[in-house]
Structure formats: C-alpha cells, structure tokens
Amino acid sequence: MPELPEVETVRRGLEEKFIGRRIDKVEVGRQRSVRRTSREEVIARLTGVTAIAAHRRGKYLLCPLDSGDVMMIHLRMSGQVLIDGVDSPRPAHSHVVLTLRDISGSIQELRFVDPRTFGEVVVFDPADADSIVPELARLGVDPITDGLSLAQLRKILRTTARPIKAALLDQHLVAGIGNIYGDEILHRARVNPLRPARDVGPAQSVRVHRAIHEILEAAISQGGSTLADSQYVDLEGESGSFQNQHRVYGRAGELCLTCYRGKIFSANIGGRTSCWCRVCQR
Ligand SMILES: [Zn+2]
C-alpha cells in the first residue's frame, strides 16, 4: 500500500500537472471508486472546475477546487493517479477519468487506475467533511505536513502500551507511516518493534524521531518505494527507487545489512508482518 512518501510524490505530481487545469469532462466507469457519494454527484461537482492546490494529510490527497469543494483521493492498496495525453491508450481499470485543458488549450487525461478497487475518489463540500470524510478529523500528526516535533512524538508514545511498531502504524497517532517505513524507521533508530511505546526511553525517542524524518525525507527524495508488484508509480508511470535502500522490510531470513551478524527476523505485530534485526534492535 502506498505510504506517506509515495502519496507525497503523487501530490507533487498533481501540483505540477493538475492544478490550474480546467476539468472539461468527467467519466466514472466503476461506481465502487466513488462509493461515498455517487457517480452523478462526482461528475456534477467536478465538471467545469479547476483545482487550485494539492495537499496531503497522511495517505490522503486533498485538492481544493475553485468551486469551494474539495476532491479527496485515497490510493489504498493498488490505486494509481496517472496523467497522460488523450491519445495514449487508457490502462485497464481506469475507473475515473478527468479530461484536463490548460490555458494553452492542450488536453490531457488524469486517470484514477485501481485494479483492486479499494481506493476512492470523493468530492465534498468542506462544510460536510464531518459526515462524508469523518476520518480526516481523526488523523494524527503528519510528520512532513505538520512537522512532528520530538516533544509531540514523546507525548504520543506515552499514550499507549502497544508495541511501538503498532503505535507508529496507528493513523490516529501518526499519519502516513505504514508497514514499510515503520520497519525501516525502527531499524534506523535501533529500537525493537515489540517494545511497548510508553517504555521507549528518552535516548531511543530521540533516535526514533530523527529516523522518522530521515527515512521519510530520503524516501520522498527517491520518489518512494515500488515493490515487486510494481503497483505504485508516480503520475508519469515511473517507479520509485527507495526500495533499493530497504534494510529490513521484506528481507526476512536474510543477513542484516547493518551489522552483518543478525538474520532478519519477522513476526506479526498488530496484524502486520514486521521485520527487524534482533542484534541491532534490542
Ligand atoms: Zn543487524
């Protein structure tokens, strides 16, 4: 599933290629991709409007429109946002297609492609946010958008006795970190993912805080991580390259690249497979 660095890469693409272009035409092929409202409502609210900004909170993309509405996109498991010329063939599973026209008159298509259809496109009046997208108000601190401070992180960790890995993945506490970056952050910080969050000491908190920023920023600078399933790509269909820097995620049973002594161990924490080195991360 795309996490903060992948969604941030898509956001930057939207900022460059989507905002300021009028949406001339809207096609919704699959009702499930717009299930929170309806096909008719999405078409009516998007046709003829222009996005004025592209924001991100956690894994949510939020584009305010010149009509006063907001378009939200969540990629979930397999969603992609692609922008290409109208003449290029649409990929399979292009469930929502927006025809865009820029001031020079050039026409492109923004395509929301989603083979597994867990992702969605929602268009809403911000006054109705509490009823249509109630989860947005419950999102925790976004490390990049909000700039998570050390004091904030320590306060968050003190609230729970769950393993720190589970706490980092809880979108109500910290927004945007998923399984890949949770594993990589704790490895960089040399913290055992099973350690109860509230027992993480001051020195470890400093390391976790630094690792959150270092790992997320490095991953953003490399366009995120594209795994073997190639499901995540940017607006132009390009893969990220941070997967080449993964030290523990997906490497269970292999030798640790940091200490060359431990083997990467894996176990289920909070419903997700976590990977860590029991030599480096005590
Ligand atoms: Zn190690």
Quick one: DSSP state of residue 165?
H
**Of the residues 79, 113, 137, the one at which a domain ends:** 137
Q: In tens digits, what is the pLDDT along the chain, a chain of 282 residues?
A: 899 999 999 999 999 999 999 999 999 999 999 999 999 999 999 999 999 999 999 999 999 999 999 999 999 999 999 999 999 999 999 999 999 998 888 999 999 999 999 999 999 999 999 999 999 999 999 999 999 999 999 999 999 999 999 999 999 999 999 999 999 999 999 999 999 999 999 999 999 999 999 999 999 999 999 998 878 999 999 999 999 999 999 999 999 999 999 999 999 999 999 999 999 999
Do residues 131 and 227 share a domain? Answer: no
- 126 in active site: no
pLDDT of residue 6: 98
**Residue 25 covered by a domain:** yes
- 3 in active site: yes
| Residue carrying the six token digits 């055992």 | 192
Domain carrying residue 84: 4-137
CB 15 within 8 A of CB 238: no
Cα(260) to ligand 1 centroid in Å equals: 6
Instruction: Indicate which residue of 11, 21, 56, 59 is catalytic.
Output: 59
- 254 in active site: no
Cα(257) to ligand 1 centroid in Å equals: 7
- 25 in active site: no
Cα(228) to ligand 1 centroid in Å equals: 24
Cα(166) to ligand 1 centroid in Å equals: 21
CA distances (Å), origin 236, targets 116, 225, 245, 265: 20, 15, 22, 36
Cα(222) to ligand 1 centroid in Å equals: 24
**Residue 47 covered by a domain:** yes
Quick one: DSSP state of residue 126?
G
What are the start-end ranges of the E strands in the chain?
Answer: 22-28, 55-57, 60-64, 70-74, 80-85, 94-101, 107-113, 120-124, 264-269, 272-277
Do residues 39 and 115 share a domain? Answer: yes
Q: What is the CATH number of the domain that holds 227?
A: 1.10.8.50
**Residue 32 covered by a domain:** yes
pLDDT of residue 143: 98
Number of domains present in the structure of the chain: 2
Do residues 89 and 152 share a domain? Answer: no
Instruction: Indicate which residue of 30, 36, 210, 272 is catalytic.
Output: 272
Cα(239) to ligand 1 centroid in Å equals: 28
Q: What is the model's pTM?
A: 0.97
Cα(129) to ligand 1 centroid in Å equals: 45
Cα(192) to ligand 1 centroid in Å equals: 11
Q: What is the CATH number of the domain that holds 16?
A: 3.20.190.10
Cα(263) to ligand 1 centroid in Å equals: 7
pLDDT of residue 228: 84
Residues with CB under 5 A from ligand 1 (ion): 256, 258-259, 262, 277, 279-280
